[in-house]
Amino acid sequence: MRSLIRPGDHNEQVADVQARLRALGHTIDDEAGQFGEATKSAVRTFQQEREILADGIVGPDTWTQLVEASWRLGDRTLYLKYPPMRGDDVRTLQGRLNALGFDSGREDGIFGINCDRAVREFQKEYAIAEDGIFGPMTHAALNGLRIDRPGLTVGLREEIRKDQAPGLDQALIVVDPGHGGGELGIVGSRGSVEADICWQLATRLAERLSFTGARVRFTRTEAEGPDQTTRAQRANDLGADVLISVHLNATEEQTAEGSSTFFFGGSRSGQSLAEKIQDELLALGLRDCRSHPRSYSILRETRMPAVLVEPVFISNADEEKKLEDPEYVRALADAIVRGVRRYYEESL
Ligand SMILES: [Zn+2]
C-alpha cells in the first residue's frame, strides 16, 4: 500500500491526487504537486461525500476511493474475476440492474457473484449472449431501456434474508478486534493501546455472546493484524450472520467523549443493529455521538449486517482510565450483546 499523502507534501503523488479530484469536479488552486489548503479542503469534501474519515489526508482508504470514483459506466468491460473489479461504474450498474428487478445485491461498487448472476439474467431476458460480461452490447441494451420496472431493492432483499436467518441461538456472529499484529491503533495519554483494548473487549464480547447460544468466531488471532479486506473476506467465508468490529474513537480534541456506531449506508439491517447497540451503550451513561453510515471496507465488503462500534474515546483521559477496569470493559461488552439480542428479538 502506498504511504500517506498529506498537507505540506510536494511531489508527483500530490499532482496525481489533484488531477483525480479535478476530474471529479473539485476546484483546487494550489500549485501543481503542492498539497496546500485548497488540496486539503478538496480531499476533505471528497471524504465527506464518500462517507470516510474526513481528515484531509490521503491514506489507503481515500486513495482506493479516489481510484474507484474515477470509473464511469461504459469506461471498461465489467465481469466477475478475482480479486473483484471495483468502482463507481460497478455501483451504477448494480443500481440500474436492481431498479430493473435483476437482483445484483448490495450497491457496494464491487462486481461479485450476485452482480454476475444479475448481468446474466438481464442478458437472458434481453436475448444477448449470456456470458456475464458487461461490455458494449449489454451496455447498449441497458441504455435502451427505461428503468421503471419495480425491482427488489437492496433493503427488501435484506428483509427477506433476515426472515430466513436463524435466531440468535443459532446464529454465527463474527467479532472483529481492531488493529493487532504490531499495528497498535491509537495509544492514549495514559499509555493504553487501542489494539490491546480491542482484543480484551472482543474476547469479553465473544464470551458473553456465546452464553446466548450463538456461535462466535474472530476475524483474526491475537498476534495478527490483517487488512480490512482480508477481515471482511474471512467473515464472508465463514458465512457470518452478523459482524461486529470493535475499535475505540480518537480525536485531537481531548475532551471529546462518548459512543458511536457505524454501518454501511443503504444496509437497513446494519443500521438497525448499529442503532440498537448504540442505544444500549447510551444506557450505560455514555454521551451520544450517534450511529453513522460509513463505507469503511470492513462494513462495505462484508455480506452480512455489519457494525463498527467505538464505545468510547481513547483520546479522552477519563474514558481511557475507565477502560483500565476490566469490569467496565465487561459492561461495554454486555451492552453490545443486549443490542444484538434486541436486534434478533425485534426483527422477528
Ligand atoms: Zn481503530
Mean pLDDT score of the chain: 89
28-42, 113-127, 166-180, 248-262: which range is least confident on average?
A: 113-127
pLDDT at residue 39 tops 90: yes
pLDDT at 153: 46
Q: How far is the CA of 186 from the centre of ligand 1 (A)?
A: 7
Average pLDDT for 63-82: 89
Q: Please tell me the distance from the alpha carbon of residue 247 to that of residue 314, in angstroms, as a whole number.
A: 10
In this prediction, residue 169 has a pLDDT band, given cuts at 50, 70 and 90, of confident
- Cβ count within 10 A of residue 95: 16
Q: How far is the CA of 315 from the centre of ligand 1 (A)?
A: 12
pLDDT at 191: 94
pLDDT at 2: 54
134-143, 207-216, 257-266: which range is least confident on average?
A: 134-143
Average pLDDT for 295-300: 88
Which tops the pLDDT comparison, 136 or 271? 271
pLDDT at residue 84 tops 50: yes
For the full predicted model, state whether its pTM sits above 0.75: no
Q: How far is the CA of 308 from the centre of ligand 1 (A)?
A: 10
pLDDT at residue 265 tops 60: yes
Q: How far is the CA of 103 from the centre of ligand 1 (A)?
A: 34
Q: How far is the CA of 250 from the centre of ligand 1 (A)?
A: 8
Q: pLDDT digits over 99-122, tens only?
A: 878 889 889 999 999 999 999 988
Q: Which long-range contacts (CB under 8 A, 24 or more apart) does 182-188 make?
A: 182/225, 183/225, 185/247, 185/248, 185/314, 186/248, 186/250, 186/314, 186/315, 187/314, 188/314, 188/315, 188/317, 188/320
